[in-house]
């Protein structure tokens, strides 16, 4: 009898080992579908409210109260463990009239200089066209429900042609992102033909960048769906992947070089609403009345799983280009703990589903700020949140 039990247990052990092996191989297969660049990009950080800032429609990196960007700041960001810096850029009135739509060379020179601060240090750099698509921004023009789409598309094509040409000699540490949170201004269900125009902008971007040649022929290109919203990008709402017909023949035939951009600020009453009502997040919250009724760890997991199933599993990496939660510690002294918990969870869940997460730093410290650094002194202001991000990406 004892012998039979031993044999039975041995058989169970063999089955368990076999299942474990299958699980390991399945996990390895999943990882294999996610390009190496995802791991290489590591934890990301946004240089927010700087090169996308403007004064009456003219780009100005100090217009919104931030100091001039310095090499020392970028070095501090790198020393803190970040491997990717996203540099939002607005062009607005620095794009001249048609038909040439010439980009102001002085502004493009400054954009390149800031890119070099990071790129020359071996960091991954994401540059985009940021504020040009906001109706609320003076000088904006990349408007998906504008009545003159021919002019919008011509301006967009010419601008990206000049930007891409300027950076065609850069290696694969530079990623170009077509635009930011493009939508019609209302947060409900996407509308047509607005979404079709967004898809068209993405296609123009890919074709234009590729045709400039050099490193742009094989560069990773990042494109968003409607307002970088997870549901409206992964669901059946109208998003289409751009084709990549002009890409370099040096790219292996089975490999993609298109990334998908989404942003994550759920639940907004915790991450963005400027009040002291909701200051805690996650399963460690100690005061249920201070925690949102939705948008906790299980919701985050489900949202990023959607991006994996739709894109990453098919070879298209996902970049969570923005996430973060504003500082409400003036209302609740424990708030920064939950901001750190949120940041850790986003980064760890992104890693689980083959995505890169890039923290939104708006340069502001104190109430409602998202800053992790003092940009004037190039010093760290929220080491706890940085530690949480780095532990999530490991």
**Secondary structure of the chain: what % helix, strand, coil (to 5)?**
45, 10, 45
Q: Which of 119, 217, 113, 88 is nearest to 164 (CA)?
A: 217
| CA–CA separation, 40 and 292 (whole Å) | 34
Count of other CB atoms within 10 angstroms of residue 318:
28
Query: Token pair of 64, please?
Result: 């919104």
| CA–CA separation, 264 and 352 (whole Å) | 15
Question: Which stretch of DSSP H or E encloses residue 358?
Answer: strand 355-359
Question: Which stretch of DSSP H or E encloses residue 262?
Answer: strand 258-264
Active-site choice (52, 181, 255, 297): 181
Contact 127, 84 (CB under 8 A): no
| CA–CA separation, 223 and 128 (whole Å) | 10
What's the maximum distance between 2 C-alpha atoms anywhere in the chain? 91
Active-site choice (52, 177, 182, 322): 322
Output the CA angle 70-72-77, nearest 5 degrees.
Answer: 105
In the block, tokens 């949140």 appear at 385
CA atoms within 13 A on the CB side of 55: 7
Q: Which of 47, 38, 82, 75 is nearest to 389 (CA)?
A: 82
| CA–CA separation, 308 and 349 (whole Å) | 11
Count of other CB atoms within 10 angstroms of residue 272:
14
Contact 151, 98 (CB under 8 A): yes
In the block, tokens 């939950």 appear at 338
Q: Let me know if 322 is a catalytic residue.
A: yes
Q: Which of 75, 162, 165, 80 is nearest to 120 (CA)?
A: 75
Q: Let me know if 181 is a catalytic residue.
A: yes
Report, as residue numbers or ranges, the catalytic residues. 181, 322
């Amino acid at each position: 009898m004892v012998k039979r039990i031993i044999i039975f247990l041995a058989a169970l052990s063999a089955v368990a080992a076999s299942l474990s092996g299958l699980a390991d191989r399945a996990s390895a297969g999943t990882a294999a579908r996610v390009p190496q660049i995802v791991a290489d990009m590591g934890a990301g950080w946004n240089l927010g409210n700087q090169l996308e800032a403007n004064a009456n429609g003219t780009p100005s990196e100090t217009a919104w109260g931030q100091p001039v960007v310095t090499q020392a700041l970028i070095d501090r960001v790198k020393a803190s463990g970040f491997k990717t810096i996203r540099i939002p850029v607005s062009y607005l009135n620095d794009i001249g009239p048609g038909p040439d739509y010439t980009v102001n060379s002085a502004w493009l020179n400054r954009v390149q200089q800031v890119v070099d601060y990071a790129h020359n240090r071996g960091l991954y750099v994401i540059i985009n066209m940021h504020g040009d698509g906001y109706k609320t921004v003076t000088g904006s023009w990349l408007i998906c429900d504008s009545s003159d789409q021919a002019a919008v598309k011509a301006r967009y094509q010419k601008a990206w042609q000049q930007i891409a040409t300027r950076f065609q000699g850069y290696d694969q540490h530079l990623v170009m992102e077509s635009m930011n949170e493009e939508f019609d201004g209302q947060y409900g269900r996407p509308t047509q033909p607005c979404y079709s125009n967004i898809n068209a902008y993405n296609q123009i971007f890919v074709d234009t960048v590729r045709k400039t040649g050099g490193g742009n022929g094989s560069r990773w290109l990042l494109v968003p769906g409607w307002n970088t919203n997870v549901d409206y990008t992964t669901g059946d709402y109208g998003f289409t992947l751009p084709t990549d017909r002009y890409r370099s023949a040096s790219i292996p035939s089975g490999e993609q070089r298109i990334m998908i951009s989404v942003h994550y600020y759920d639940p907004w009453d915790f991450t963005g609403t400027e009040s002291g009502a909701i200051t805690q997040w996650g399963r460690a919250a100690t005061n249920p009345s201070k925690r949102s009724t939705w948008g906790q760890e299980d919701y985050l997991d489900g949202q990023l799983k959607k991006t994996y199933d739709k894109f990453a599993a098919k070879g298209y990496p996902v970049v969570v280009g923005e996430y973060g939660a504003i500082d409400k510690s003036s209302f609740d002294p424990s708030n920064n703990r939950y901001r750190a918990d949120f940041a850790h969870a986003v980064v760890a869940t992104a890693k689980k589903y083959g995505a890169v997460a890039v923290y939104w730093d708006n340069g502001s410290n104190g109430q409602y700020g998202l800053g992790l650094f003092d940009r004037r002194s190039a010093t760290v202001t929220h080491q706890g949140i940085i530690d949480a991000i780095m532990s999530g990406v490991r």
